[in-house]
Structure 1
């Protein structure tokens, strides 16, 4: 028998930074994460907010110490472009699911569509999809649904900043083109909002049902105009060497714009790095990004009502601050 050749094991390395990945369709967020982690040989990596396998677009990937700010990016405002297919409801609320029922699409006007979109904008109550990564009893709901278990999902409050019609080329005053009845929509929303649920509820409001046919994430705060990298582009850079690949990474500071900045002196940085609070009149109260006198990020902290700054999640180098030399 011919000997089986084994692929060499990846030797991981310490790497810090943020990659703005353009996730391809067909991969889960974790599958995409593992591919780029092995490509960069990063010892530690995490993504900030899952995208469905059907979805494409921006998936920020945090390497190394950047994983300490990933939780803050999860709650950031996001924007999507989606295509709604009217007349068909699926069990997953998207095109990857099985059709549950079909209904004729009634005559629709732009005014009626806009009114239905407006009703789903603002602070609304939303029922997440049964096939979702939400956990119950430590297990994702989609795992229970795939086993055929009856899954009850409670409504929750979400924020939809914008839900707008971009194109209705296949639906104009009830005149359908030869293709499927489609609506191209723009969504801006806060944490925990499911675009699949928005499209599902829009379909019900229009009296015909709907599901997501396409979904692309355009941006995530603070990356409003992202330079995204595809897996193919990253692979090509990797073949040119790791220095070319690493040039794609953003510094950790690029992901910290959501937190108010607090600048500390060298002695204060040393104290924080030792896990101690720093008294003073720091502002504003709440979570803050701590930077040293050179502008380098030291991590996240908390300013109390008393103006005292306390360390929360500091980066490894914050504990390596050198004590100032005394004359």
Structure 2
């Protein structure tokens, strides 16, 4: 009989051997840990103890859990992630012939609605924020370089945090993204203005903060260490607030805004997909829902029913 804890260890090692990113493996470890602890509380210690009825009970259990930070029930996306981790775990155990039957074969994860981003920064708002950053001295120069990079490239927070000083090619205006989401590499254009601010940061600021233990990471804290994801999020959000722009968001709002503005200015979905590093164009298609202003203008110009202004008749 194979204990659940032992099966988890084998499965995670297998995921690592197959080249899954450390972040993905850690996410699976966490989600499976929740499940295994629940199973142990139910007296289910071995793989053969798990059946479809148990899985349905666990679905009900997590459906009533409350996120301590948000003081709300777990959202559908979190529930789906936890249940999908179990399905992948059991499916792989069967493939490896560690279990005879997969009890999750007919177990369905909840569907997840694709959310439209809550806020998009307009071009004037972006310029206002970027100008405001320079009020903050040396940190402002670094932070201007970071925000310019987020805006110009549409990179994810973790991708910006992992950039090294050799990843930006100032001659060709291209950024090399190594091991982005899904451990995929890609090359992304970067605007000359962003290059200007990165170069200024590299020349005037980074040498002041780096020390003998500082690695090649591009963006550093004042202590010469790589910026943490939390630091980048706080940085991305605080300047929006300080500039008086009343919109929510942090690093990701710059990514969403870049993609939306490109689409409104004529970029194709395929090009935006390539730039953002989306595995599926279905993910990129969310931005077609964001250009409402452009849609209304086209509607007013082309739809026969919109030709008469009934508000003024």
Higher helix share: 2
The answer to which structure, 1 or 2, has the higher relative contact order (CA under 8 A, 6+ apart) is 1
TM, length-normalised to structure 1: 0.22
As a proportion of its length, which structure holds more strand?
A: 1
TM-score by length of 2: 0.23
